[in-house]
Amino acid sequence: MVRSWLLRGLLGLMWILPLWMDVMSDKCNALHTIKDQLNITLRRRYMKHNFPINYTIQVRYEEVFRLHNISRLRNEEDVELMHLQNLWLTVAQKGIKRILQVLPEKHPTRRKYLTALENLFRIYEQSYGTEIELPDSIEDIGGRLLGTNYQGWRSVTPKSLLDNCYRTMHCLFKECFLRDGSDYDYCNILHWRKRKGTTPQPT
């Protein structure tokens, strides 16, 4: 009886595993498409050079989602990776909308870059976004992202929002971005600081 149960379980796993791998492959392909649109060349061209020097916008504190936020939230015992991935998607979309709000309709960054990027995130959400029960700490952040009478505004450059989006994406979905035999720690800020030096790093 036990052997029969184990055999059925093994056969079921062998049937499900290829389907799961196909879903993961498609998901990673979608994230790589987003990554291509977030590459450093495009971020500099459209999010820095197309704006006045030192230009900033007002965003909620929770809309600045950085690597240290991930480290802090991971210390919460009920927070899992999928919760952080869900939060990443929400914050990324909020950040893009925030930038679009300050751009004139004919601004080149809107027409040639952000609208397409926003569509990529929308497609990703429709394909891979899931309704999951969130722990209280993530629910609280979501409430502050949408709440009225908000007090915690801060000034940031538009480019910094997408810089953070790019880095945290690599941290939270690292299985899609690690190269064979690589030991990159995308969740470590030192990894990204090295990119500014002479050591080649993936972009």
d(CA 131, CA 137): 17
Query: How many angstroms from the chain centroid is the CA of residue 134?
Result: 17
- Which class for 116: exposed (0-12), middle (13-18), buried (19 or more C-beta within 10 A)? exposed
pLDDT for res 198: 36
- What confidence score (pLDDT) does residue 104 get? 94
Q: What is the pLDDT of residue 25?
A: 79
Distance CA(125)–CA(89), nearest Å, equals 8
Residue 112: predicted pLDDT:
94
- Give the pLDDT score at 36: 96
Q: What is the pLDDT of residue 14?
A: 53
> What per-residue string of b and e applies to 147-158 under the rule 16 or more CB within 10 Å gives b?
eeeeeeeeebeb
The predicted pLDDT at position 107 comes to: 96
pTM for this predicted structure: 0.83
> What domains appear along the chain, each with residue ranges and CATH number?
26-194 (1.20.1250.80)
In this predicted model, what pLDDT tens digit does every residue of 10-31 receive, in sequence order? 444 454 444 434 445 789 999 9
Q: Are 144 and 59 in contact (CB under 8 A)?
A: no
Between CA 199 and CA 101 the distance in angstroms is: 37
Report, as ranges of residue numbers, the positions in the chain whose pLDDT lies below 50: 2, 5-7, 9-13, 15-23, 197-203
DSSP per-residue letters across 100-151: HHTS-TT-HHIIIIIHHHHHHHHHHHHHH----PPPHHHHHHHHHHH-SS--
Which neighbouring-strand residues pair with 156?
57
Find residue 155's DSSP bridge partners.
Answer: 58
48, burial (CB in 10 Å: exposed 0-12, middle 13-18, buried 19+)? middle
**CA-wise closest residue to 95 among 32, 168, 149:** 168
User: Are the C-beta atoms of 71 and 187 separated by less than 8 Å?
Assistant: yes
d(CA 123, CA 127): 6
